[in-house]
């Protein structure tokens, strides 16, 4: 009896909804909108750890409007139109041989699966702001600056909601003067839409062993800058992709360069995190990319206005986990619906959110903790699964080098069209893919010029990232010997793979010591994936912290 009374007296504030959605990205907002369209009486809440809608959204983005056409069939005629204002006008693909030479693949040799006619160059962050407004107009509650700290389970070990993080906790665990306790948001169904490597999603996948029948997920890191350029260096709707230099031939990756209206160029480099050389710095490779004539000709008279980074899923069809669990579902990049062949995932994310919504609304009564297995059936019957199945072998075909991948991509696009009777799997655990430092080639990176290429910390300021300094560490060192082993075996690759200079080895009287600059964190999740010996676990910091992207 005493235990029950104590729990009651000190219980947290609790609010009840029919549906809780974690993450205000394209999947989560599509789910919220679709639920309200189908059943206006259902109560729906979306929680988002960023301080503003779109504040943590980073994507290319060359947007395929398939799902948008389904969710908003008349979007082109709406008075308040979505920010899809830059249709693709040109579509180019180059192989960069070295720092000067390149080869443009003729358009007639593009497989239909990667052509961008009918797509739009957009800011996914701006689209999420617009979608958030549509959701709120339908009666959806959206709580920004609200992080999901842990999952709430009932007595039968079913998910019944999420506990949000406390605010105002000092770095030593003490309550500060601005302390504000989190709340328990309970719901009949919880849809996890956190994006790639979501912290709550990973715990749920682990608890319910949702990956037991699939390959482990694989990841890349995407680094992005937005530039403003003069009109003479700009062509609205131009889309350019490259593979090859500056990455070596056995490192998976490539670049994108998109001309978006208002004289903006969205430029990025994706590097597969299964790379071998611990001396490689994805950030420095990105800076090198800009020196190539195919890139620099557009930027040389421009100004960089934004910078950021985020991991993305690359496992595709083979890495899709079980999509349901007692009390909830996975949608969007939480499930891994990115199509690496198309270099697109937003349309799949939106569609999965819509299917989750339709599954919930098709039930007369959804009980708390109920597992809606019909959702997985719906996804498998949709164009999401068909699209991912047809491109299932694309990433695996790059396991030898980029040329094997390009050759297979052409074979797949023009001959087999995804119907080949074999599978190519190539998963390598990213944190175990390193060569030891005695076998790894050295890489020398030039100093930045401050005009085209930038020092990392100078560029980091363009991300708007900020955290409360006096709070518990959100980057948890879970293996005390990890930093020393990383330094001894691989020369500390964490000081190079992090795109925000969070990890530094500094000289002390006792030798080199790891310093974690958590306030720099971009929430990209690279360290949660690529850290040698997996000695760091990424957890959510105080809500509202992190990057403050605008137009990314």
pLDDT at 161: 98
Question: 61-102, pLDDT tens digit by residue?
Answer: 999 999 999 999 999 999 999 999 999 999 999 999 999 999
Residues 6+ apart with CB under 8 A from 158: 326, 327, 368, 369, 370, 371
Question: 343-392, pLDDT tens digit by residue?
Answer: 999 999 999 999 999 999 999 889 999 999 999 999 999 999 999 999 99
Question: 195-238, pLDDT tens digit by residue?
Answer: 999 999 999 999 999 999 999 999 999 999 999 999 999 999 99
3-state secondary structure of 430: helix
Q: Which of 313, 295, 317 is nearest to 304 (CA)?
A: 295
Cβ–Cβ under 8 Å, residues 454 and 287: yes
Q: How many CA atoms lie within 13 A of 450 on its CB side?
A: 0
Enter the DSSP assignment of 534. Answer: G
Give the C-alpha separation, 77 to 419, whole Å. Answer: 38
Provide the token pair at 441: 């080639």
Question: 500-514, pLDDT tens digit by residue?
Answer: 999 999 999 889 999
pLDDT bucket at 401, cuts 50 / 70 / 90: confident
SS3 string, 183-250, reads CEEEEEEEEECCCCCCHHHHHHHHHHCCCCCCCCCCEEEEEEEEEECCHHHCCCCEEEEEEECCCCCC
Q: Tokens 């595709």 sit at which residue? A: 316
SS3 string, 89-131, reads CEEEEEEECCCCCEEECCHHHCCHHHCCCCCEECCHHHHHHHH
Angstrom distances, CA of residue 36 to CA of 82, 141, 357, 468, 509: 19, 11, 9, 36, 62
Domains of the chain: 2-73+126-214+321-390 (3.50.50.60), 83-122+217-313 (3.30.9.90), 431-446+454-538 (3.30.70.20)
pLDDT at 211: 98
Give the C-alpha separation, 24 to 148, whole Å. Answer: 12
pLDDT at 400: 82
Enter the DSSP assignment of 505. Answer: E
Length of the chain: 552
Q: Is the pLDDT of residue 112 over 60?
A: yes
pLDDT at 2: 32
SS3 string, 261-315, reads CCCEEEEEEEEECCCCCCCCCHHHHHHHHCCCHHHHHHHCCCEEEEEEEEEEECC
Residues 6+ apart with CB under 8 A from 412: 111, 341, 390, 391, 393, 394, 397, 418, 420
Residue 9 backbone dihedrals phi, psi, to 5 degrees? -65, -30
Question: 265-288, pLDDT tens digit by residue?
Answer: 999 999 999 999 999 999 999 999
Give the C-alpha separation, 304 to 454, whole Å. Answer: 10
Angstrom distances, CA of residue 391 to CA of 317, 332, 457: 8, 17, 38
Give the C-alpha separation, 68 to 77, whole Å. Answer: 13
Question: 131-157, pLDDT tens digit by residue?
Answer: 999 999 999 999 999 999 999 999 999
SS3 string, 351-397, reads HHHHHHHHHHHHCCCCCCCCCCCHHHHHHHCCHHHHHHHHCCCCCHH
- Residue-averaged pLDDT of the chain: 95
Provide the token pair at 270: 């994706």
Return the percentage of the chain with pLDDT > 90, whole number: 90
Enter the DSSP assignment of 29. Answer: H
pLDDT bucket at 11, cuts 50 / 70 / 90: low
Give the C-alpha separation, 208 to 242, whole Å. Answer: 39
Cβ–Cβ under 8 Å, residues 132 and 33: no
Return the percentage of the chain with pLDDT > 70, whole number: 98
pLDDT at 412: 85
pLDDT at 8: 37
Query: What is the maximum span of the chain, computed from C-alpha positions, in angstroms?
Result: 77
pLDDT at 1: 30
Q: Which of 527, 532, 530 is nearest to 517 (CA)?
A: 527
Give the C-alpha separation, 122 to 305, whole Å. Answer: 16
């Amino acid at each position: 009896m005493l235990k029950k009374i104590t729990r009651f007296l000190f219980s947290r504030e609790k609010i009840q909804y029919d549906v809780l959605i974690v993450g205000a990205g394209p999947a989560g907002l599509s789910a919220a909108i679709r639920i309200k369209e189908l059943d206006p009486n259902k109560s729906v809440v979306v929680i988002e750890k960023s301080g503003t809608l779109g504040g943590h959204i980073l994507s290319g983005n060359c947007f395929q409007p398939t799902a948008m056409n389904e969710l908003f069939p008349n979007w082109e005629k709406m008075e308040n139109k979505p920010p899809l204002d830059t249709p693709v006008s040109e579509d180019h693909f180059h192989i960069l041989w070295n720092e000067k030479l390149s080869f443009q693949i003729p358009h007639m040799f593009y497989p239909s699966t990667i052509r961008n006619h009918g797509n739009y160059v957009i800011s996914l962050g701006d689209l999420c702001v617009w979608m958030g407004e549509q959701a709120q107009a339908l009666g959806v509650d959206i709580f920004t600056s609200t992080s999901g700290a842990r999952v709430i389970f009932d007595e039968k070990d079913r998910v019944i909601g999420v506990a949000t993080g406390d605010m105002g906790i000092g770095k030593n665990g003490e309550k500060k003067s601005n302390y504000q306790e989190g709340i328990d948001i309970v719901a009949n169904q919880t849809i996890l839409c956190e994006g790639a490597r979501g912290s709550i999603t990973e715990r749920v996948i682990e608890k319910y062993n949702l990956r037991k029948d699939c390959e482990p997920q694989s990841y890349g890191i995407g680094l992005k800058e937005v530039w403003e350029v003069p009109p003479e260096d700009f062509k609205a709707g131009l889309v350019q992709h490259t593979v090859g230099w500056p990455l070596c031939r056995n490192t998976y990756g490539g670049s994108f360069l998109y001309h978006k209206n208002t004289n903006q160029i969205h430029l990025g480099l994706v590097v597969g995190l299964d790379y071998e050389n611990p001396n490689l710095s994805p950030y420095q490779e990105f800076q090198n990319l800009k020196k190539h004539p195919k890139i620099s000709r557009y930027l040389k008279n421009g100004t960089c206005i934004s910078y950021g980074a985020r991991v993305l899923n690359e496992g595709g069809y083979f890495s899709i986990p079980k999509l349901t669990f007692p009390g909830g579902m996975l949608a969007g990049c939480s499930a891994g619906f990115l199509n690496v062949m198309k270099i697109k995932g937003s349309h799949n994310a939106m569609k999965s959110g819509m299917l989750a919504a339709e599954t919930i609304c098709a039930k007369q009564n959804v009980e708390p903790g109920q597992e809606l297995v019909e959702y997985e059936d719906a996804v498998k019957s949709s164009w999401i699964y068909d699209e991912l199945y047809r491109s299932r072998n694309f990433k695996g075909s790059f396991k030898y080098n980029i040329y094997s991948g390009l050759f297979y991509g052409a074979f797949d696009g023009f001959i087999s069209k995804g119907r080949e009777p074999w599978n190519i799997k190539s998963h390598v655990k990213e944190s175990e893919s390193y060569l030891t430092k005695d076998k790894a080639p050295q890489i020398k990176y030039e100093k930045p010029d401050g005009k085209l290429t930038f020092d990392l910390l100078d560029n980091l300021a363009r991300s708007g990232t900020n955290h409360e300094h006096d709070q518990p560490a959100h980057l948890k060192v879970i293996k005390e010997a990890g930093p020393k082993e990383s330094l001894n075996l691989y020369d500390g690759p964490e000081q190079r793979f992090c795109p925000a200079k969070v990890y530094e080895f500094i000289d002390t009287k006792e030798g080199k010591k790891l310093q974690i600059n958590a306030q720099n964190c971009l929430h990209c999740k690279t360290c949660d994936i690529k850290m040698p010996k997996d000695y760091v676990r990424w957890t959510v910091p105080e809500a509202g912290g992190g990057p403050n992207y605008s137009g990314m």
